[in-house]
Structure formats: structure tokens, C-alpha cells
Amino acid sequence: MNRIFVVLRTTLYWVSVIAMALMLLIISVTVGTRYLFGYSAEWAEEAARYLFVWSVFIGGALIMGENGHLAVEFLTNRWKGKRIGFVLELFIKLCGYSFILILLTQGYKMANTMMFQRSPGLDIPMGLVYAIIPFSSLLMLLYLIRDTARFIREYRSPDAHKSHP
């Protein structure tokens, strides 16, 4: 199972890097052609914007997989190994599930609804642009399930009930 997450992390990392590199290339070429030749491609700004949105959502899933999101951990660290700490951590995880499930369902509805509209510059269905929302939500859900299983496994271990000084 760990191997799957390593492959997933590597894939997400490279997709994000490639998307950002493409975005940088498109913006650089567009600025260059605008100032040198007075020409700006219609699709360039739109493509860069969509690549940015996809990079942000893929990056969000990638960061969630590494537990890199901002968190206020004062109480969870203080009560780690105690029953109240377990309840608090469980509550935090349940809030995460709620948020991700809302993002998943509403993102799917939005992507599905927007399939009829086409982007003006690239002439692609806008639903494809919005599809990153449910896709990244599924990735985040996968990471949260992994983290929840790890959390419960750690709590059940004999060392988890020892009091920390």
C-alpha cells in the first residue's frame, strides 16, 4: 500500500511541476511576443490561468498527503496520548471528511453542469477545467483515509496510552 502512495506522490509532484513549467513558458512567450511583435495569442492567458488552477488543486492534494497544511496543534500536541486528544483528533478528521465530501459532491455537480459551456480561447468544455475539483477531492479523501487508518492504528498500539511528560 505504501508503494501506491509513493507512486501517487511522485506522479502528482511531476504533474504539478510540468503544469507550472508550461504556465511559465506560456506567460514568458506571450509577454515576449506582445512586446517584440505586438501579437498576443488569444488562448495563452486562458491556458496559463487553467494550468495555475490545476496546479493549485493538485498541490493541495499533494500537501495533504504530506500533512503539510497549516494547523494549530497546541491542543492536539498537549493532549496527545490521552482520551481527550483522541476525541479531538477524531473530531478534526471528521471535519476533514465533511469538507472533502462537500467539495467532492459540489465539484462534481459544477463540473457536470459546466460541460455545455466552452472556454472562449481554448474552445474546450469548461467542465474539464472544473473537473480538477472532484479529482483533487478524491485524492484528498484517499490521503485522509490513509491518515485516519494510521491514526487509529497508532492509538491502538500499547505505547499510545502512556502519559507524556
pLDDT 10s digits, 67-122: 877 777 777 778 887 888 889 989 999 999 999 999 999 999 999 999 999 999 99
Q: What is the band of 161 on the pLDDT scale with cuts at 50, 70, 90?
A: low
Work out how many domains the chain is built from and give that number: 1
Burial of 81 (0-12, 13-18, 19+ CB in 10 A): middle
Tell me the per-residue pLDDT of 29-80, one tens digit each, with 9 for 90 and over.
999 999 999 998 989 999 999 999 999 999 999 999 888 777 777 777 788 8
- What DSSP element (H or E) covers 93? helix 83-113
pLDDT of residue 162: 52
User: Domain range holding 137?
Assistant: 2-161
The mean pLDDT of 120-144, rounded to a whole number, is 95
pTM of the entire predicted model:
0.84
Q: What is the band of 164 on the pLDDT scale with cuts at 50, 70, 90?
A: very low
Q: What is the band of 139 on the pLDDT scale with cuts at 50, 70, 90?
A: very high
The mean pLDDT of 129-139, rounded to a whole number, is 96
pLDDT of residue 159: 64
Interatomic CA distance for residues 43 and 121, integer angstroms: 4
Q: What phi and psi values does residue 68 have, to the nearest 5 degrees?
A: -100, 0
